[in-house]
Structure 1
Amino acid sequence: MLVVIFLRALRAVPFLAASIVFAMGAQAQAVEFRTITIKVGYGPGGGYDQTSRLIARHFGRFLPGNPDIVVQNVPGGGSLKLTKMVLGSEPSDGSVIASVSEAMSYAPVLDPQNANFDPLALQWIGSLVNEPAYCLTAKSSGVDTMDKFLRSDFLIGATGKSSVTYIFAALVKNGLKARFKIVTGFEGTADIELAMQRGEIAGMCGVSSYNISGNRDTLNLIGTFGSGTVAGKEKLIRFSDKIGDTKVREAAALIETTLQFHHPLVVPPGTPKETVEALRKGYMEMVRDPAFLADVGKLSEMTVNATSGEDISRLVSKQLKVDPNVFETARNLVK
């Protein structure tokens, strides 16, 4: 009797093994995307909008199910409005991805009254750019040197107070006692550029090299933020190097760290681990794809230097562990 039972058990082993393999295969194929919407926290025409539309043309090829991807603009507060939507009301099934400012990673520390959320709750997918940012002015403004930029009375345009266009302008204004005033309320860099062309404002801060590649002849590059250089661009003075106070310079360096993951994509908290992993994997495959890189070359002089979602999460976590006194100084620096 025992022999019969043993033989039956042996015959069942292949079927059991096959069932396990089938189940594992089914689990591996469980993530499949349909239509995805990339929501952009800025208005049409600016850098975040352009890169999001670029990504939308290619990303689906690297995701299970090869989904169609559409883009929707949700401007407001330098992407703070969209960030709050992602943390509160957007679906967590991978059908919505958000293109938000990298400044959202420390917005709750610098502006806790308006940005009352946990940056670590955001699921970071990846970012395209890791390079310095600029302050620039229209040549028609007459503000064409560092000295004039710091000592003249004029207007700088920005989106919202949680955006890089405001934060980096405020860093210069407060850290170096500049005299310019910051005007907020623009939907994106395209609107700021239009206001510069009209002579309504003189310039803006916190923009990357590809934002200026199409109209370089009409702009003055004044100085930079962040470490490193941009290939083919003149070497400029780094604003934070001009700050004399050691504590203030340390706070400025903290703020500049977000330039390591410029133009990030995020998904809501609660998005399944397998979905996040599929998006992260597909993103890093996309940024190495020759067709994608060729399309980037048609758009601008942007150099793709991607940061993975895992690395962004580690950087954000590291940021939030900084000495509270440094955060306090940074908070005062960008008021």
Structure 2
Amino acid sequence: MLNLFRIMAFYSLYLSIFVAANANANASDSVDFSGKTIEWIVPFKRGGGADQWAQFNAPYLSKYLPGNPEVVIKYIPGSGSIKAANAFEKNAASDGLSLLGTSSSTKLPYLLGDKRVTYDFSKWQVLLMYPTGGVVYVSPNLGISSYLEIAKLRGKKLIYGSQGATSLDMIQQLGFEFLNLQVSTFFGIRGRAAGRYAFEKGIANLDTQTSSSYLKHVQPMVEQGRAIPLYSMGALDEHGALIRDPQFPGLPTLAEVYELLEGHKPSGEKWDNWFSLLTVGFGAQKSLVLPKSTPQNIIDTYHQAFEKILIDPEYMAKKNAVLGSYKQLTGDAAVRLYQQSIKPMSNQYWIRQMLLEKFNLKIK
């Protein structure tokens, strides 16, 4: 009987230690950002699509993160987002206080092995994914009033400001070439907002903006007769086929414009390569990430916050007018899309050859 009491006392002591240990573990797993400031890094100048995305989400992130931290936007433009991404990789702590809003201009140089890249895009912890679209537009000074007159642009000198040959602008450059448009490109702009500024000042007569920036900044110019939309980047249906962007149903896709010019649907190697870049560049364009070494409890806390944000009634009521109707993803769905978007591209050799021939840019 004495042994029985000893056994029961032992298990009672063990149980109390186990419960206490779990209570401490749960306490350590909790995350509280009270009194903290979180930096959402935008790797471009103010005013572009990445800025719009950050500005819209930041107040809600503050609302739903535990402790209601202040979320501030920090701009680090340079090298088509590579400067900020390299700095984030090197310096960002794993305490959940530094976020990087990436775009395809961050992803494409990584996938192509751009020697300026020192970050590992595949190792960051994704919190939110934002597929988006975009619109290409021109100045009415070129003598057209509708995309239906695009044939008149052939033979005219079109001027376009680019963030860099391996940035998201590479998709546009290939599109211009596919349409047989004579485009003179100047490099060095620090984000698409700067490209729009060059357009507004008459330095460029051809430009593109992602959907959120187009809706806010370019649509008013269209309504005033200061810009003529040519085509949207389109969207992908459930079978992966290119369709008109539901946000811009009145605008054709590049495929439709090509058919208008040539009398037949696009096909061939050049089209296939452009389409594969479109899928990577716009179908999974923007992602919000934490450093690779961030503890899981902090990652989970952010996912839980974004799950609440995406169903917030006020957020849902305002989102389409600011960001468009594209569905944002968090949690496992975001992780899956993020991983799919960074698979090695089968057309790397073709892209590298194009960059060498067109821009004298050799990628290792």
Which bracket does the TM-score occupy, shorter chain normalised? 0.7 to 0.9
Give the TM-score, by structure 2 length. 0.79
Task: Assess if the C-alpha contact under 8 Å between 2:105 and 2:166 holds in 1.
Answer: yes
Task: Assess if the C-alpha contact under 8 Å between 2:157 and 2:184 holds in 1.
Answer: yes
Q: Give 1:96 deviation, angstroms.
A: 0.8
**Could you tell me how far apart the structure 2 residues matched to 1:136 and 1:111 are?**
30
Q: Which amino acid aligns with 2:352?
A: R
Matched position secondary structure for 1:135: strand
1:215 paired to 2:221: yes
Query: CA 1:2–1:295 in 2, change beyond 3 Å: closer, same or farther?
Result: same
Q: Which amino acid aligns with 1:230?
A: P
Q: Give 1:50 deviation, angstroms.
A: 2.4
Moved more, 93-102 or 210-219: 210-219
**Could you tell me how far apart the structure 1 residues matched to 2:112 and 2:209 are?**
16
Q: Which amino acid aligns with 1:256?
A: L
Moved more, 179-188 or 70-79: 179-188
**Could you tell me how far apart the structure 1 residues matched to 2:191 and 2:313 are?**
29
Q: Aligned ranges for residues 191-210 of structure 1 at < 5 Å?
A: 191-205=194-208, 207-208=210-211, 209-210=214-215
**Could you tell me how far apart the structure 1 residues matched to 2:331 and 2:207 are?**
28
Matched position secondary structure for 1:37: strand
Matched position secondary structure for 1:256: helix
Q: Which runs of 5+ in 1 are unaligned?
A: none
Give the TM-score, by structure 1 length. 0.86
Query: CA 1:9–1:301 in 2, change beyond 3 Å: closer, same or farther?
Result: closer
Task: Assess if the C-alpha contact under 8 Å between 1:225 and 1:239 holds in 2.
Answer: no
Among all aligned residue pairs of Structure 1 and Structure 2, give the percentage whose two residues are the same amino acid: 17
1:276 paired to 2:291: no
Q: Which amino acid aligns with 1:108?
A: Y
Q: Which runs of 5+ in 2 are unaligned?
A: 236-242, 259-264, 360-364
Moved more, 12-21 or 285-294: 12-21
How many residues in Structure 1 have an aligned counterpart in Structure 2?
331
Q: Which amino acid aligns with 2:221?
A: N
Q: Which amino acid aligns with 1:88?
A: K
1:91 paired to 2:113: no
Task: Assess if the C-alpha contact under 8 Å between 1:63 and 1:279 holds in 2.
Answer: yes
Measured against aligned partners, the alpha-carbon deviations of 1:141-189 in whole angstroms (never above 9, x if no partner) come to: 435543244542120122233432x222211234344211122222233
Task: Assess if the C-alpha contact under 8 Å between 1:77 and 1:161 holds in 2.
Answer: no
1:224 paired to 2:220: no
**Could you tell me how far apart the structure 1 residues matched to 2:234 and 2:84 are?**
26
**Could you tell me how far apart the structure 1 residues matched to 2:267 and 2:249 are?**
29
Measured against aligned partners, the alpha-carbon deviations of 1:268-321 in whole angstroms (never above 9, x if no partner) come to: 221222222222332232122122234446x63622520336445434533454
